[in-house]
Amino acid sequence: MDRNYFSFSSDLAMKSANNVEKCENELKYTGRSLIDYQCMVLEGLIEGKIKPEEITKIENDLKKYLNFVSSKRKKFNESNYNLDVENLKDFVNSKNSQGYFKKFKENHPIAYKATKSFGTFLTLFSLCGGVAAEAFSNSESYSSEENVITVDDEPGDAMFTKIQDAIDNASIGDTIKVFGGIYPENVFLDKTLNLIGVKDIKDNETIPVIDAQRNGSAIYLTADNCLVDGFELIKAPVTIPGTGNVSAGIKVTSNGNVFKNNNILMNKYYGIYLVGVSKNNKILRNSISQNNGGIMVSKDSKDNEIYENLISDNDGSGIRVEDKNKIYKNKLYSNYMGIFVGVGNIGVSNTEIFENYFIDNHIGLEMYYSDNNHIQKNTFKGNRIGVKLDRSDGNHINNNNFIKNDLHATFKGVLYADPWAFSLTNYPDGINNDWEENYWNRTRIFPKIILGTGWYYYWNLPPSYRIVFDFDLHPLREPYKEN
- Kindly state whether residues 303 and 354 are assigned to the same domain: no
Instruction: Report the distance separating Cα 215 and Cα 236, nearest Å.
Output: 7
- Kindly state whether residues 378 and 312 are assigned to the same domain: no
Provide the domain count of the chain. Answer: 3
State the pLDDT at residue 107: 54
Instruction: Tell me which long-range contacts 7-12 makes (C-beta under 8 A, separation of at least 24).
Output: 8/33, 8/36, 8/37, 8/40, 9/37, 9/58, 9/61, 9/62, 9/64, 9/65, 10/61, 10/64, 10/65, 12/65
State the pLDDT at residue 463: 76
Mean pLDDT, residues 247-256 taken together? 97
- Kindly state whether residues 329 and 354 are assigned to the same domain: no
Model confidence, pTM: 0.70
- Kindly state whether residues 218 and 76 are assigned to the same domain: no
- Kindly state whether residues 326 and 355 are assigned to the same domain: no
8 Å CB contact between 397 and 374: no
Q: Is residue 142 part of a domain?
A: no
Structural domain for 245, as ranges: 180-335
- Kindly state whether residues 63 and 89 are assigned to the same domain: yes
First and final C-alpha spacing in the chain: 70
Q: Is residue 195 part of a domain?
A: yes
Which of 275, 308, 335 is at the close of a domain? Answer: 335
Q: Is residue 164 part of a domain?
A: no
State the pLDDT at residue 31: 42
State the pLDDT at residue 347: 76
Instruction: Report the distance separating Cα 254 and Cα 227, nearest Å.
Output: 12
Q: Is residue 151 part of a domain?
A: no
Question: Which of 46-60, 62-76, 250-264, 416-430 is the least confident region?
Answer: 62-76
Residue 382's pLDDT band (cuts 50, 70, 90): very high
State the pLDDT at residue 455: 76
Instruction: Report the distance separating Cα 261 and Cα 207, nearest Å.
Output: 11
Cα angle 228-232-233, degrees, rounded to a multiple of 5: 85
More confident residue, 363 or 138: 363
Q: Is residue 174 part of a domain?
A: no
Which of 72, 101, 135 is at the close of a domain? Answer: 135
Decide if pLDDT at 102 tops 50: no
- Kindly state whether residues 186 and 307 are assigned to the same domain: yes
Residue type, 273: Y
Nearest to 189 by CA among 211, 212, 218: 218
- Kindly state whether residues 296 and 242 are assigned to the same domain: yes
- Kindly state whether residues 348 and 324 are assigned to the same domain: no
Q: What are phi and psi of 311, to 5 degrees?
A: -125, 115
- Kindly state whether residues 214 and 323 are assigned to the same domain: yes
Nearest to 322 by CA among 305, 292, 343: 343
Q: What is the pLDDT of residues 182-195, one digit of tens each?
A: 999 999 999 999 99
3-state secondary structure of 109: helix
Which of 306, 335, 364 is at the close of a domain? Answer: 335
Measuring CA to CA, how many Å separate 259 from each of 137, 256, 283?
32, 10, 5
Q: What are phi and psi of 42, to 5 degrees?
A: -60, -45
Q: Is residue 46 part of a domain?
A: yes
CATH number, position 271: 2.160.20
Angle at which helices 55-71 and 30-47 pack, to 10 degrees? 170
Q: Is residue 145 part of a domain?
A: no
Task: Output the DSSP codes for 21-42.
Answer: GGGHHHHHTHHHHHHHHHHHHH
State the pLDDT at residue 57: 64
Q: Is residue 208 part of a domain?
A: yes
Locate all alpha helices (DSSP H) within 2-80, ordered by sequence.
7-18, 24-28, 30-47, 55-71, 73-78
Residue type, 77: N
Instruction: Report the distance separating Cα 232 and Cα 187, nearest Å.
Output: 13
- Kindly state whether residues 301 and 403 are assigned to the same domain: no
Instruction: Report the distance separating Cα 406 and Cα 200, nearest Å.
Output: 45
- Kindly state whether residues 99 and 10 are assigned to the same domain: yes
